Protein backbone atom coordinates (compact mmCIF):
# COMPACT_ATOMS: atom_id res chain seq x y z
CA UNK A 1 0.00 0.00 0.00
CA UNK A 2 1.49 3.34 -1.04
CA UNK A 3 1.70 6.34 1.26
CA UNK A 4 -0.93 8.34 -0.64
CA UNK A 5 -3.28 5.35 -0.66
CA UNK A 6 -3.19 5.06 3.14
CA UNK A 7 -3.32 8.83 3.58
CA UNK A 8 -6.47 9.03 1.44
CA UNK A 9 -8.10 6.15 3.35
CA UNK A 10 -7.27 7.90 6.62
CA UNK A 11 -8.68 11.17 5.25
CA UNK A 12 -11.95 9.41 4.36
CA UNK A 13 -12.30 8.09 7.89
CA UNK A 14 -11.34 11.44 9.44
CA UNK A 15 -13.94 13.22 7.31
CA UNK A 16 -16.58 10.60 8.14
CA UNK A 17 -15.84 10.98 11.86
CA UNK A 18 -15.99 14.77 11.52
CA UNK A 19 -19.47 14.52 9.99
CA UNK A 20 -20.59 12.05 12.67
CA UNK A 21 -19.37 14.41 15.40
CA UNK A 22 -21.31 17.27 13.74
CA UNK A 23 -24.53 15.22 13.87
CA UNK A 24 -24.35 14.22 10.22
CA UNK A 25 -23.92 11.00 8.31
CA UNK A 26 -20.44 9.50 8.73
CA UNK A 27 -19.35 9.45 5.11
CA UNK A 28 -16.08 11.01 3.98
CA UNK A 29 -14.25 11.30 0.70
CA UNK A 30 -10.86 12.30 -0.69
CA UNK A 31 -9.75 13.09 -4.24
CA UNK A 32 -6.16 12.36 -5.20
CA UNK A 33 -3.99 13.20 -8.16
CA UNK A 34 -0.68 11.41 -8.19
CA UNK A 35 0.82 11.59 -4.72
CA UNK A 36 -1.35 14.47 -3.53
CA UNK A 37 -4.73 14.75 -1.88
CA UNK A 38 -6.31 17.66 -3.75
CA UNK A 39 -9.60 17.78 -1.83
CA UNK A 40 -11.55 16.17 0.99
CA UNK A 41 -15.18 16.36 1.96
CA UNK A 42 -17.87 14.81 4.09
CA UNK A 43 -21.59 14.27 4.01
CA UNK A 44 -23.16 17.56 5.09
CA UNK A 45 -26.75 16.80 4.15
CA UNK A 46 -27.98 17.19 7.72
CA UNK A 47 -25.67 20.06 8.66
CA UNK A 48 -26.54 22.15 5.58
CA UNK A 49 -30.06 20.88 4.92
CA UNK A 50 -28.90 20.04 1.40
CA UNK A 51 -30.12 16.68 0.05
CA UNK A 52 -27.35 16.36 -2.53
CA UNK A 53 -24.38 17.25 -0.33
CA UNK A 54 -23.10 13.69 0.02
CA UNK A 55 -19.47 13.07 0.96
CA UNK A 56 -18.30 12.56 -2.62
CA UNK A 57 -20.21 15.62 -3.85
CA UNK A 58 -18.76 17.78 -1.06
CA UNK A 59 -15.26 16.57 -1.91
CA UNK A 60 -15.67 17.34 -5.61
CA UNK A 61 -17.11 20.75 -4.79
CA UNK A 62 -14.11 21.43 -2.53
CA UNK A 63 -11.77 20.45 -5.37
CA UNK A 64 -13.13 23.32 -7.42
CA UNK A 65 -12.91 23.42 -11.17
CA UNK A 66 -10.58 20.85 -12.68
CA UNK A 67 -9.65 20.78 -16.35
CA UNK A 68 -9.85 16.99 -16.15
CA UNK A 69 -10.37 14.27 -13.57
CA UNK A 70 -8.93 11.54 -15.79
CA UNK A 71 -5.77 11.30 -13.68
CA UNK A 72 -7.58 11.29 -10.32
CA UNK A 73 -8.74 8.66 -7.87
CA UNK A 74 -11.80 9.24 -5.70
CA UNK A 75 -11.72 7.58 -2.29
CA UNK A 76 -14.93 7.20 -0.31
CA UNK A 77 -15.61 5.76 3.12
CA UNK A 78 -18.84 4.11 1.90
CA UNK A 79 -19.91 2.68 -1.43
CA UNK A 80 -21.31 5.55 -3.53
CA UNK A 81 -25.02 5.99 -4.16
CA UNK A 82 -26.40 6.34 -7.68
CA UNK A 83 -26.16 10.15 -7.61
CA UNK A 84 -22.50 10.08 -6.65
CA UNK A 85 -21.79 7.19 -9.05
CA UNK A 86 -23.37 9.16 -11.87
CA UNK A 87 -21.14 12.11 -11.06
CA UNK A 88 -18.07 9.86 -11.08
CA UNK A 89 -19.03 8.66 -14.56
CA UNK A 90 -19.94 12.17 -15.74
CA UNK A 91 -16.54 13.55 -14.64
CA UNK A 92 -14.74 10.51 -16.09
CA UNK A 93 -12.98 9.69 -12.84
CA UNK A 94 -11.20 6.46 -13.78
CA UNK A 95 -10.72 4.89 -10.33
CA UNK A 96 -12.74 4.70 -7.12
CA UNK A 97 -11.49 3.21 -3.85
CA UNK A 98 -14.32 2.23 -1.51
CA UNK A 99 -13.36 1.86 2.13
CA UNK A 100 -16.43 -0.26 2.87
CA UNK A 101 -19.56 -1.64 1.25
CA UNK A 102 -20.90 -3.93 3.98
CA UNK A 103 -23.31 -1.40 5.46
CA UNK A 104 -24.44 -0.14 2.06
CA UNK A 105 -23.83 -1.90 -1.21
CA UNK A 106 -23.85 0.98 -3.64
CA UNK A 107 -23.35 0.91 -7.34
CA UNK A 108 -20.03 -0.85 -7.88
CA UNK A 109 -21.30 -2.79 -10.89
CA UNK A 110 -22.77 0.34 -12.47
CA UNK A 111 -19.32 1.95 -12.20
CA UNK A 112 -17.49 -1.11 -13.52
CA UNK A 113 -19.89 -1.38 -16.46
CA UNK A 114 -18.87 2.16 -17.42
CA UNK A 115 -15.14 1.48 -17.28
CA UNK A 116 -14.39 2.73 -13.77
CA UNK A 117 -11.85 0.68 -11.83
CA UNK A 118 -13.37 -0.11 -8.42
CA UNK A 119 -11.37 -1.29 -5.42
CA UNK A 120 -13.07 -2.30 -2.16
CA UNK A 121 -10.79 -2.46 0.86
CA UNK A 122 -13.07 -3.37 3.83
CA UNK A 123 -11.61 -0.81 6.25
CA UNK A 124 -12.62 -1.87 9.78
CA UNK A 125 -12.81 1.71 11.11
CA UNK A 126 -15.20 2.82 8.37
CA UNK A 127 -17.31 -0.33 8.73
CA UNK A 128 -17.63 0.11 12.50
CA UNK A 129 -18.40 3.84 12.37
CA UNK A 130 -21.16 3.40 9.78
CA UNK A 131 -22.67 0.43 11.63
CA UNK A 132 -22.71 2.48 14.83
CA UNK A 133 -24.44 5.36 13.05
CA UNK A 134 -27.09 3.09 11.49
CA UNK A 135 -27.76 1.53 14.90
CA UNK A 136 -28.05 4.94 16.59
CA UNK A 137 -29.79 6.88 13.81
CA UNK A 138 -31.62 4.42 11.59
CA UNK A 139 -34.28 6.99 10.67
CA UNK A 140 -31.68 9.48 9.36
CA UNK A 141 -29.95 6.73 7.43
CA UNK A 142 -33.24 5.62 5.83
CA UNK A 143 -33.92 9.22 4.87
CA UNK A 144 -30.48 9.58 3.28
CA UNK A 145 -30.90 6.51 1.08
CA UNK A 146 -34.56 7.35 0.35
CA UNK A 147 -35.73 4.13 1.97
Active-site positions read 56
Q: How far apart are CA 140 and CA 6, in angstroms?
A: 30
**Which residues does residue 37 pair with via DSSP β-bridges, in sequence order?**
32
Cβ–Cβ < 8 Å for 28, 76:
yes
**Residue 24: half-sphere exposure toward Cβ, Cα within 13 Å:** 23
- 112-141: buried (b, 16+ CB within 10 Å) or exposed (e) per residue? eeeebebeeeebebbbebbeebbeebeeeb
Q: How far apart are CA 90 and CA 103, in angstroms?
A: 25
Amino acid sequence: MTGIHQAAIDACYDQALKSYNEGGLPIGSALTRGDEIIAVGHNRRMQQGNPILHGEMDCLQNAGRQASYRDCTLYTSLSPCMMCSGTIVQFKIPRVVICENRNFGGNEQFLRNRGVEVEIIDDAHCIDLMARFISESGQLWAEDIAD
